[in-house]
Structure 1
């Protein structure tokens, strides 16, 4: 069983063991209807066990060893040859996570992460920039939606980004079993589809936060018409203009920031991170107030478009965000919403280091989505467990938990 440093418990050893065991039984039962044969369902459960084991590499051989199999074939069949719906599992993960984490004030955080690859056969692989490596490299890119509330956080949606060169290549599409319905879509388009899925399934949230990849395009209008606020990153060259205000603002984010007086800045926390409170200097300009009817909404109220700026205390480096919020929303609230993006960065790190998010050995479209969805389920399970406790277990407890896992 994984020794997740972020998994904390104030329960007794016996209660902790039972909570883990009952949670594992629960998630296996939830995904059981996806499989038409018992043996396939058992293999899927074993796959989940392997992801939750304390092996650092979640390869097919490692998962097979944890499951007691003589080789990785059953594990590989779950991702490749088996016939089951990864989209249905995604929905199961979402509904399961929301039973515990749901909150009307939650933030939906959109971000992407890279999956480094050596070859060129894996679906969607190309030389492209990934923040995971901080450079252009050979990788796949996955776009994710994480649900972040006061109860915890978990992934609830995901999509593999298919570069245009791949989308337009019938030979590579055929080799990696890309569905005919899948067309080229930009990362913001993938994110917008995730937001629309969340809206159509009544996922409770009030805000969306994302970096500058997602601060342009149809996402803004989708959220405005749905009465959802947002804090979306934009580039320094992004233009802003005020109207209907006693002051005039017009120019790029960088130009507007340079003209701000020093007393426009306020030192605020955007939340707690692994190293304590995350403090930055913040400035905020509300640029325009719009009645809901002005943008075709079927609700009432006044909303404000604004520019939020974050300045690093140590080196003065600045980041810029376009904002949309109910009139009167404070800068403290906006800074806190932006700070929720830390949760998905932490989730990527945990899912890769502890659950094998980037250890997928298949090359197909459905193999990627199946593997990632199973990891999402494992992550959601730990989030649910974490919600019930808040004190890190002593080393002796962790050893007993691991011993219990390998006995079963």
Structure 2
């Protein structure tokens, strides 16, 4: 991102900031939030308190720290305003909600929720915090619309430690599955337009989560492990890999799961109806993705959706899951999502929310530019 782009976009981001200006109790934190968002857009190697303060002409990071730690403002209301902005700019009825978590490497033991735990970001066990996120993906773009900080039992079992990090006694231990349920329920209650939910196998293999979605008539394509079992028509439990292995050769179709960094993501795909009777117009399938280069490399999905859903529809949703990874990459690389230096629980939410707002703004700009380019191309043909 060039300096010229930042200067231009910082003017535009004031419009997004104005949407949630009422969420701040006083003018000082309100103005500081706009400075903070502008700083997150800047081409800085590190976007922490010191560098963001310097970017807006402050000698010390005191104002930035006060904004995140002590100022009076409602970060959850800002989150909702950001979500509404995303819906206005890229929302479509065929949108996909994508759940996933990401790690934030940390030093020390005082940052809220930090401990040695597995981080998919690092690919190993590290001292880190884990955030659970909900992304929204549509043909117009993708952005993060909700977030929760994972607070392990090692913390919730030690309330003195929690209080020192600003974690209220009312904050319970909650799994990442419960986080995703909370975020999906908020999206449903807010009438977010979407057609499907997708997530990786850490979420997809949890049967009570699948049942929770079905109770709400939410269609899903969820990755799962090779030895997961599903209930078939004759009320027996069958392994997903065995159901797929029984399919004839012609059941496999060569399809793209969408464009990636290196072109179309093309695989062989197949599905099998696991309960070929329909309830309220919805049915269930097992979906499989097979590598073109190595036919023994197969990934599995459990699916629930409208009876009219085609194989290509399920493939499209499965492919949409990668868009949350692209959200993380952009948010960390361009919006400072992982550059924070805060310890308090509420400060984490505040930084993450403002970084999500910046990502939403960039998403809107890119969607507008894409629409303009498409219109210009149409007018010349």
Flag whether TM exceeds 0.5 (same fold).
yes
How many equivalent pairs are there? 371
Tell me which residue corresponds to 1:273: 260
Tell me which residue corresponds to 1:107: 96
Shift of 1:249: 8.4
| 2:146 pairs with 1:166 | no
User: Structure with the greater relative contact order (CA < 8 A, sep ≥ 6): 1 or 2?
Assistant: 1
Q: Relative to structure 1, is the Cα distance of residues 91 and 163 closer, same or farther in structure 2, using a 3 angstrom cutoff?
A: same
TM-score by length of 1: 0.86
- Conserved? CA contact 1:142–1:159, under 8 Å: yes
Which deviations, in whole Å up to 9, do the C-alpha atoms of 1:208-264 show, x marking residues without a partner? 0100111114432332233321001111121124217xxx98532233334444333
Q: Alpha carbon RMSD of aligned pairs, Å?
A: 2.3
Q: Relative to structure 1, is the Cα distance of residues 272 and 42 closer, same or farther in structure 2, using a 3 angstrom cutoff?
A: same
Tell me which residue corresponds to 1:95: 84
Superposition map of 1:74-223 within 5 A: 74-215=63-204, 216-223=206-213
Shift of 1:20: 3.0
Shift of 1:131: 1.2
Shift of 1:118: 1.8
Alpha-carbon distance in structure 2 between the residues aligned to 1:312 and 1:73: 53
Shift of 1:28: 1.8
- Conserved? CA contact 1:249–1:256, under 8 Å: no
**SS of equivalent residue, structure 1 residue 29:** helix
Q: Which runs of 5+ in 1 are unaligned?
A: 5-12, 293-300, 394-408
Alpha-carbon distance in structure 1 between the residues aligned to 2:46 and 2:368: 28
| 2:313 pairs with 1:333 | yes
- Conserved? CA contact 1:60–1:75, under 8 Å: yes
Shift of 1:120: 1.4
Q: Relative to structure 1, is the Cα distance of residues 217 and 86 closer, same or farther in structure 2, using a 3 angstrom cutoff?
A: farther
Shift of 1:22: 5.0
Superposition map of 1:289-304 within 5 A: 289-292=276-279, 301-304=280-283
Which deviations, in whole Å up to 9, do the C-alpha atoms of 1:250-281 show, x marking residues without a partner? 53223333444433321110000111100111
| 2:222 pairs with 1:242 | no
Alpha-carbon distance in structure 2 between the residues aligned to 1:176 and 1:18: 36
Tell me which residue corresponds to 2:350: 370
Alpha-carbon distance in structure 2 between the residues aligned to 1:172 and 1:261: 58
Tell me which residue corresponds to 2:376: none
Superposition map of 1:367-406 within 5 A: 367-390=347-370
Deviates more, 1:224-233 or 1:47-56: 224-233
Shift of 1:345: 0.5
